[in-house]
Amino acid sequence: MVRTDTIGARLSGRDNNFTTVRILASTTVLFSHAWIVTTPGMVTADYMHLLGFTPGFHAVHVFFILSGFFLTKSILDSGDVVQFCVARVLRLMPAVVLSALVMAFIVGPWITTAEPLAYFTSGETLSFLFSVISLLNISHPLPGVFENNVLPGEIYELLWTLRYEFVFCAGLALAFALGLLRFKILVAVGVAAGLAGFGVYFWNGEDAVLFEPIRHLMRFATSFGLGAACYLFRDRIPYSMVVLAILAVASFLLKDTGLATPLGILLLTYGVLYVGFAKVSWLKASNWLGQGSYGIYVFGFPVLQLVYLFWPDLGPWSNGMVAWAITVPLAVASWHCFEKPLLRWKRPMANLVKQLTRAATRSETASGERVEPDTSADTTSVRLP
């Protein structure tokens, strides 16, 4: 009997190309935003759309697909919800904190049109740090920074997607804690229902949706869910060029129909995993960059704005290329010198959180217990000399 090659069979070890996949995705996001940075009035509808979405949107879908796949693996491997959550915070937030601090106290004072004293004494500078690091308002400006750009005051256009990442991480942790990931039929039904809803919602394309507030939730939840399902069913999903070709042909033939978006997200999910696990040596050429793709995502937009500030006559492609050349070294340095070292603290910090939780629980229990009076000694029977 011939053994079928599966996604699960390809998963063992670290011999994969996902660093390259992530670098390509973050680069696509960076270049797609070079257009809105340099072109007044540019909106989503002006971009090229492929299978219902722009290349930039598909690139963000890639990140959520990979998050769903590898985070499901991570929580099932570790079996530790606290460590899982701590590790995710340590992976996502250090680059944001570092970037915000550099923008507020180095880049901001250098390029602001405000007076130095006014800049540093303005409440807006400190509230910028809180708003960005907490992800509550990633559009918060710095005084006099980028105020004459095409997108005035915008610094962290891309960070809003991190809110969804944290929501899905919390949902995955809850599903694991409740034991729901053991019920694969339930997972399959849920993902199938989500994919059907995704298809209905985007039946007429990304720009013709109803109930705008849930548009991004539908996109990202479907991508994350498909990634998670692919991990859970990894031993049943064949690793096959034939499957990839069937999805590609079906997507192409139905690209002008309402089925384009659900077929497109299925093709993207399978294609990302297929390329990621392909045994092709040249796809590993970018492995030396480490996890720098996330830094490209975080630092990319501020650098695009900086490039426009100094060279406003550059077109989108030129702006993107200059920004990419500046951002990649920053992202690699941030990963190796700052982000990666902090990940060593995930176990100590997780243990600290557990200890604090246990201490708080014991304290609450002790405070709720009724203290009975000590009647072991009868003072009336004590004879005085």
Position 208 scores a pLDDT of 57
Q: Is residue 122 part of a domain?
A: no
Contact 153, 124 (CB under 8 A): no
Position 369 scores a pLDDT of 59
Q: Is residue 304 part of a domain?
A: yes
Measured from the Cβ of residue 155, the count of other Cβ atoms closer than 10 Å reads: 25
| Total structural domains within the chain | 1
Q: Is residue 308 part of a domain?
A: yes
Q: Is residue 327 part of a domain?
A: yes
* Size of the chain in residues: 385
pTM given for the model: 0.89
Is the pLDDT assigned to residue 13 strictly greater than 70?
no
Rounded distance between C-alpha atoms, residue 377 and residue 23, angstroms = 76
Q: Is residue 251 part of a domain?
A: yes
First to last CA, the chain: 99
Domain that holds residue 293: 16-77+163-358
Position 250 scores a pLDDT of 94
Position 115 scores a pLDDT of 93
Position 16 scores a pLDDT of 87
Contact 151, 36 (CB under 8 A): yes
Q: Name the residue with higher pLDDT: 86 or 44.
A: 86
Rounded distance between C-alpha atoms, residue 88 and residue 71, angstroms = 9
Q: Is residue 5 part of a domain?
A: no
Is the pLDDT assigned to residue 286 strictly greater than 90?
no
At 212, is the pLDDT very low, low, confident or very high (cuts 50, 70, 90)?
low
- Helix-helix angle 81-102:346-368, to 10 degrees: 120
Q: Convert the pLDDT of each residue in 130-156 to its tens digit.
A: 999 999 999 999 999 999 999 999 999
Position 206 scores a pLDDT of 67
Which residues contact residue 216 at a Cβ distance below 8 angstroms, ignoring those fewer than 6 apart? 161, 164
Q: Convert the pLDDT of each residue in 330-371 to its tens digit.
A: 999 999 999 999 999 988 998 888 888 888 777 767 666 554
Position 240 scores a pLDDT of 94
Q: Convert the pLDDT of each residue in 161-199 to its tens digit.
A: 999 999 999 999 999 999 999 999 999 999 999 899 888
Position 258 scores a pLDDT of 83
Beta bridge partners of 6: 238
Average pLDDT rounded to a whole number, residues 252-259: 88
Rounded distance between C-alpha atoms, residue 298 and residue 382, angstroms = 77
Position 330 scores a pLDDT of 95
Rounded distance between C-alpha atoms, residue 25 and residue 56, angstroms = 8
Q: 63-77, 136-150, 198-212 — which is least confidently predicted? A: 198-212
